[in-house]
Amino acid sequence: MRDLLRFQPLYQERVWGGRALETALGRVLPAGDPIGESWEVVDRPEAQSIVEDGSLKGQSLRSVLARHAADVMGPGWPAERPFPILIKWLDCRERLSLQVHPPAAVAGELKGEPKTENWYIAHTAPDAKLIVGLKRGVTREHFERSIGDNTVDQCVHRFNVAAGDSILVHSGQVHAIDAGNLILEIQQNSDTTYRVYDWGRVGLDGMPRQLHIAQSLRSIDWNDFEPVPLRAAPTSGMIAECAEFQIRRVVLGPGERIHLRAGEQPRLLSVVSGAVRNAVEGVSGSRAPVSHRLNRGDNVLLPYAGAFTFSAEVTTILLITESFAG
């Protein structure tokens, strides 16, 4: 398998969502309630990415891995093992709940999954902010009291962001995304979220949304104070490094290329600005190239067995996620 894998997006209604995936990324969204998330690459029992085109069109990511694990992930990858990364676009028209994901040390006890994630800010409204971590000196006792008296804002670390900024949010870090952010989230394959505070909001059904205060208090890292985001830069470089994955930012000028060799590792490529085109040897064994144009918002899986050359049509920013197949 030498061709890239592009998947159909899975759109999710969220009370805090909007229509920015339509206006900013040119997507055609389902009508109705606000769309807060687009799951771009996912291999979970409750949600499966479906290949959009090519020789495997219509197959699920799970089916592809079951049949072609070595080609996609490399030698020795168990065919039954889930794909380890989940990629989402988040349209945060309103502020998200204050939440936390359980660290590995307590996830089993709580019957959940750890989740470390990276947020890349693709677009912001003026004065948009993120919330990550605690204000310096806040204790568990102080934080717990603040939930009861609705002063949580005074306990959390809130900071301005701009397009191109990013931050790695580890399991155990309390966090929320403020209104007006369009974010590409690259994360561990997990869907465990404990909601500790929801700013008095109700859900799409008009009822208060469920909180998970006890689980949240057990999961929060009480020594995590005022983390610093990585600010936008006009150059290529590493933007996230953790045990679960690495993310490189690659900046290409018009006509510039990046070459990714076969037999190194599987990778995920995300176009966060601009557009690229690639040509690879046909997957059928013929020498005719299979060409793909990838636009802003596209996320594709580059199999272990494939070699790829991408050429920028305009000034382009790519995110390359790798080192996840360990």
List active site positions.
Answer: 195
Question: Rounded to the nearest 5°, which phi and psi values hold at 253?
Answer: -80, 165
Report the C-alpha dihedral over residues 185, 189, 191, 195, rounded to 10 degrees. -50
Pairing of strands 156-160, 129-134: antiparallel
Any idea of the CA torsion for 17, 19, 20, 23, to the nearest 10 degrees?
Answer: 180
Q: Residue 7's beta-bridge partner residues?
A: 51
Please provide residue 198's backbone torsions phi and psi, each rounded to the nearest 5 degrees.
Answer: -130, 25
Furthest-apart CA pair in the chain: how many Å? 68
SS (HEC) of the chain: CCCCEEECCEEEEEEEEECHHHHCCCCCCCCCCCEEEEEEECEECCEECEECCCCCCCCEHHHHHHHHHHHHHCCCCCCCCCCCEEEEEEEECCCCCEEECCCHHHHCCCCCCCCCEEEEEEEECCCCEEEEEECCCCCHHHHHHHHHCCCHHHCEEEEECCCCCEEEECCCCCEEECCCEEEEEEEECCCCCEEEECCCCECCCCCECCCCHHHHHHHCCCCCECCCCECCCCCCEEEEECCCCEEEEEEECCCCEEEECCCCCCEEEEEEECEEEEEEECCCCCCCEEEEEEECCCEEEECCCCCEEEEECCCEEEEEEECCCC
